[in-house]
Structure 1
Amino acid sequence: MGARDGADTDGDDGGARDGDGDGDSDGGEPVVVPERDPLLLDAMLGGLASYLRMCGYDAAYALDRGVEDDEAVRRLAAAEGRRVLTRDRDLAAATPGALLLTERDVVDQLRELREAGVRLRLAEAPARCGACNGPLEAVDPDADRPDYAPETGTLWRCRDCGRRFWKGSHWEDVRETLASL
């Protein structure tokens, strides 16, 4: 796969923004989001979750967990060792290491993440369920192919919810979106 697949080709893992937007966390160090850092997206970032999951991130969505209140989001993130992504300035300011996004549109949010140093590229193979964030496993396409799936190609099944996935037109759409950032 080349640069058109959405891979971050500049090699810059730069710093990300925290709650006050100055790029410094509590001690003046930039907030860095490692590629596999588990994330918790607040109620305002549901559309972003599936993109991050397709990039291989463990990206939990607060509303999927029945959590919306700022304090409950902070408790859940701390309990699971997740970095909070939010559009809520107060939540970001009160949560060490949080990443504040300001844009409403998901493509603009992806741009903000890329500019903050978050690597956004499709995984070679899907790793996370787009619906529930559970881990995916490859399945025998001959023994486990549902009627609605394409007749050829690799299939993956979510270990948590059982949904099936394959690289189809949505995969290519996301690839093009990431390449356009």
Structure 2
Amino acid sequence: MTGANVDGSASGVEAEPTEGLLLDVMLGKLSTYLRMCGYDATYALDRGVEGDDDLLALAVTEGRTLVTRDESLAARAAAGLRIESTDVHEQLRELRAAGYDLSLSDRPRYCGACNAPLERVSWAESTPEYAPDPGAERVWRCRDCGQHFWRGATGGTSPRRSKPSERHYFEVGHRRLR
């Protein structure tokens, strides 16, 4: 169930995208990236959970690996992974080194905004004006918040983002992913 030991060193076990993760309040941006890689990545603040004991209880109840920057919290977790960096790209490198597969999914499974399951939009369905025609390219819709996702035109970049470091594999609706 783990991809790394609590200290962040590689355990030799590659984490599966089906593994549930719980990211603490310091890792909200990272949760979006993990969702686009196919991980069920719950962000603590999306669930209204902030306290350490509440985080630990939720991780156990839902069978999730707790991902945190807090060393003592990671040590207390039944399954915990400590991330050291404050930079999301360095955080992704740490996860990759710990055995997590960060390949971008051809078929996204979770909404980058709210983590709810995505469903493929049928070619016959209409989409909002900002989304492409599902007859021309694959489009997914969040079952909860209704956002639409599709593969970026240049193999993973969104022209609405000014910095390459903020680019995502899938474009999303009319608002920027956080």
Give the TM-score taking structure 1 as reference length: 0.78
Runs of 5+ unmatched residues, structure 1: 1-13, 25-29, 176-181
Please name the residue that 2:160 is paired with. none
2:146 counterpart residue number? 162
| SS of residue paired to 2:120 | strand
What amino acid maps onto 1:96 in structure 2?
A: A
- After superposing on structure 2, the runs of 4+ consecutive aligned residues of structure 1 that deviate more than 6 Å are none
State the distance in 2 between where 1:143 and 1:134 align.
Answer: 20
**Change over 3 Å in CA distance of 1:114–1:65 after alignment to 2:** same
- Conserved 8 A contact 1:42-1:68: yes
Q: Which has the higher contact order (CA 8 A, sep 6+)?
A: 1
Contact 1:128–1:135 (8 Å) recurs in 2: yes
C-alpha distance in structure 2 between counterparts of 1:146 and 1:88, whole Å:
41
Structure 2-normalised TM-score?
A: 0.79
Report SS of the residue matched to 1:109.
helix
Once the two structures are superposed, what CA deviation does each residue of 1:129-162 show, in whole Å capped at 9, x if it has no partner? 0011011110124423111112431111112222
Aligned partner of 2:98 in structure 1 is: 116
Who is 1:34 aligned against?
A: 15
Q: 1:153 to 1:22 in 2, by over 3 A?
A: closer
Q: CA deviation at 1:23?
A: 4.0
- Aligned mates of 1:171, 1:16 — CA distance in 2: 28
Please give the secondary structure, in 1, of the residue aligned with 2:42: strand
Instruction: Report what 1:17 is aligned to.
Output: 5
Among residues 48, 60, 67, which one is paired with 1:85 in the alignment? 67
* Distance in 2 separating the partners of 1:120 and 1:97: 19
> Structure 1 residues 15 and 143 mapped into 2: Cα distance closer, same or farther (>3 Å)?
closer
Identity level (%): 50
In structure 2, distance between residues paired with 1:86 and 1:140: 38
Aligned length: 155
| Whole-Å separation in 2 of the counterparts to 1:131 and 1:141 | 24
User: Unaligned 5+ residue runs, structure 2?
Assistant: 158-166, 170-178
RMSD between superposed Cα atoms in Å:
2.2
CA distance in structure 1 between the partners assigned to 2:66 and 2:141 by the alignment = 27
